[in-house]
């Protein structure tokens, strides 16, 4: 952390010497909060900026791109593209680096910190902006980015959390970590996390809560009521075969300076903005514009309805090869979310892959678990190799990765991916190197 912080300080000094800045960031929750962090710091420093939030870093992003430019949540894996930028360039990322970048490059992997589990892109960006002025109040956004990438408050993220508590940017409460506040019955009926077998069924939800004699607002539950509910949810998840109870019971982070107090609601809003192709609305939320809140909440409600429908498809239509589980979809909205929910709450035995044919491209989202990672699973490598073999591109983290492939290549892609994953999971134990991305 000390070496990373020293490098971050040097980058902050260089950014503050720029007369303007182009900001390019990913359009998911981690990328949007990363953009929110650097844009807020630039705004406070009086440096004009223009921000673009994109799905991937490719040739189209470079068209007429002039620096100085800072890439957030992307760039570490694309040295061949970044090297073509002749103006001053900064890369603030947490994906595993590939090759070498000649520009100023900050990535936790370069300092022995696990970018898949311990520091998100938003956390990496925050390590820079905290040296650009009095910006500790922005630390809550760094935590939102980590939660958006399903990271826990461990390692470097824990350090940011402690700083955020100390400066009053966040407050911790023990209890259920739900993405909605309000009446407990309404929250459990509409939530997608935890994904319980009665989610979306108002009568079953009411019966579950009545048997526990639970009433009131979920964020206000305490004492015996909270203990009974947490125990019941844990047992329900175990009966479903899920071991995700630790992700929804524990320290709930409340944001004290952002447009919403519930940190998980902020994640949900940003994911919805990215999915509905209005990531700029999410950036507006990160810049603390309350006027964008109702539109974002409306998008989130619509997006959750899509997710619930697609989870139904996963339950009914998933198929299994020797080493992976997969779902083929067409023109759906939430492949990445569905694969993440599916492996946490429904199918933890094998890596879960969704393939969504939409707009002349098949988009792939793959998710694993920590036990699978400890056995040798590396989805970043597997998707990069399998997608490349069929004329596509892929990459990401060991536990969560994505790809895009041409239509018509799905079955070949799946066969190649199944073979690669099988080789990773079934190596003799002594041949499996210590996984950098394993906890």
Q: Which fold has domain 318-431?
A: Diaminopimelate Epimerase; Chain A, domain 1 (3.10.310)
What confidence tier does 240 reach under pLDDT thresholds 50, 70, 90?
confident
370-400 pLDDT, tens digit each: 899 999 999 999 999 999 999 999 988 899 9
DSSP string, 37-102: HHHHHHHHHT--EEEEEESS-SHHHHTT--SSEEEES-STT-HHHHTT--S-EEEE--SPP-S--S
Instruction: Please write the tens of the pLDDT for every residue from 39-54.
Output: 999 999 999 999 999 9
CA distance 87 to 323: 45
User: Under a CB-based contact definition with an 8 Å cutoff, are residues 346 and 241 in contact?
Assistant: yes
Q: Please tell us whether the domain made up of 2-168 is placed in CATH 3.20.10.10.
A: no
Task: State yes or no: pLDDT of 18 exceeds 60.
Answer: yes
Peptide bond into 68 cis (omega under 30): yes
Query: 253-280 as b/e, with b when 16 or more CB fall inside 10 Å?
Result: bbbebbbbbbbbbbbbbbbbbbbbebbe
Same fold yes or no, 2-168 and 318-431: no
Model pTM score: 0.83
Q: Taking the domains of the chain in order of start, what are their residue ranges?
A: 2-168, 174-278+295-305, 318-431
DSSP E strands: which ranges in 168-214? Answer: 170-176
**Strands of the sheet with 325-330, listed across from one edge:** 319-320, 325-330, 352-358, 361-367, 400-405, 393-396
């Amino acid at each position: 952390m000390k070496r990373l912080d020293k490098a971050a300080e040097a980058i902050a000094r260089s950014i503050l010497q720029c007369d303007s800045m182009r900001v390019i960031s990913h359009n998911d929750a981690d990328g949007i909060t990363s953009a929110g962090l650097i844009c807020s710091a630039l705004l406070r420093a009086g440096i004009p900026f223009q921000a673009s939030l994109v799905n991937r870093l490719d040739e189209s992003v470079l068209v007429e791109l002039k620096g100085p430019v800072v890439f957030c949540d992307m760039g570490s894996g694309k040295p061949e593209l970044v090297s073509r930028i002749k103006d001053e360039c900064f890369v603030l990322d947490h994906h595993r680096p590939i090759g070498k970048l000649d520009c100023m490059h900050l990535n936790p992997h370069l300092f022995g910190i696990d970018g898949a589990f311990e520091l998100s892109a938003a956390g990496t960006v925050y390590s820079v902006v905290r040296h650009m002025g009095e910006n500790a109040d922005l630390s809550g956004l760094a935590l939102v980015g980590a939660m958006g990438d399903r990271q826990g408050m461990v390692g470097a993220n824990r350090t940011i959390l402690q700083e955020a508590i100390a400066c009053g940017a966040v407050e911790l409460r023990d209890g259920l970590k739900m993405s909605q506040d309000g009446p407990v019955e309404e929250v459990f009926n509409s939530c997608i996390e935890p994904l319980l077998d009665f989610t979306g069924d108002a009568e079953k939800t009411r019966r579950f809560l009545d048997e526990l004699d639970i009433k009131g607002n979920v964020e206000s539950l305490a004492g015996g009521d909270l203990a009974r509910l947490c125990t019941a949810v844990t047992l329900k998840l175990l009966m479903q075969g899920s071991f995700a109870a630790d992700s929804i019971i524990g320290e709930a982070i409340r944001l004290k300076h952002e447009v919403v107090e519930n940190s998980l609601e902020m994640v949900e809003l940003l994911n919805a903005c990215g999915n509905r192709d209005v990531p700029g609305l999410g950036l507006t939320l990160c810049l603390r514009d309350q006027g964008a809140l109702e539109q974002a909440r409306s998008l989130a409600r619509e997006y959750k309805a899509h997710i619930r429908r697609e989870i139904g498809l996963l339950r009914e239509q998933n198929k299994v090869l020797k080493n992976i589980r997969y779902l083929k979809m067409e023109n759906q909205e939430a492949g990445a979310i569905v694969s993440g929910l599916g492996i946490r709450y429904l199918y933890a035995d094998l890596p879960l892959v969704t393939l969504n044919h939409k707009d002349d491209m098949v988009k792939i989202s793959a998710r694993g678990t920590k036990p699978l990672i400890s056995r040798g699973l590396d989805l970043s490598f597997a998707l990069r190799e399998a997608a490349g073999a069929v004329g596509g591109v892929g990459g990401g983290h060991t536990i969560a990765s994505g790809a895009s492939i041409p239509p018509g290549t799905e079955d070949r892609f799946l066969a190649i991916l199944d073979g690669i994953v099988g080789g990773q999971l079934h190596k003799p134990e002594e041949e499996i190197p210590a996984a950098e991305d394993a906890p």
